[in-house]
Amino acid sequence: MFKARLKWHMLGMAVGCFVSGVAAAQHAHAPGHAESDPAVAAYLAASERMHQDMAIAFSGDPDVDFARAMIPHHQGAIDMAQAVLDHGRDPEIRALAEAIIAAQENEIAVLRGWLEERGQTAD
């Protein structure tokens, strides 16, 4: 069962990295007026929140630190995917966003469970 979960985690991480990179690229390349666009504003807010929340206090345990940092990373992917659902129109991208949300929510649950099993918190 763990291997099956791991497979989905790896897929979700790859998708999450892609979505995160898109938002970061938009922030770096967005014209000055683009931030007034609701979709761009949603991407920027999600990206900024994700990066702020990923700035964890490191414990010195690389496994725990990875799990703690990945939770806000995955939440950022969820927030960016939700922005697509709120503002996007392309059916394929909307379907991908829905799949990303489902995968990332699952991964967050697994990461939180892994931390809890070891007496750790996500904070």
Where exactly are the structural domains of the chain? 2-29+38-117
Distance of alpha carbon 123 from alpha carbon 116, whole angstroms: 11
Q: Which two tokens stand for residue 81?
A: 């995917």
**How many Å apart are CA 58 and CA 95, to the nearest integer?**
36
Residues of the chain under the 50 pLDDT cut? none
- Rounded to whole angstroms, the Cα distance separating 29 from 81 reads 20
Q: How far, in whole angstroms, is CA 55 from its chain's centroid?
A: 14
Query: pLDDT at position 8, please?
Result: 54
Are the CB atoms for 113 and 22 separated by under 8 Å? no
68 token code pair: 């703690």
Count how many Cα atoms sit within 13 Å of the Cα of residue 9 in the half-sphere of its side chain. 18
- For 3-6, the CB contacts below 8 A with 24+ separation are 5/106, 5/110
Class of domain 2-29+38-117: mainly alpha
Say which residue the tokens 């979960």 belong to.
Answer: 5
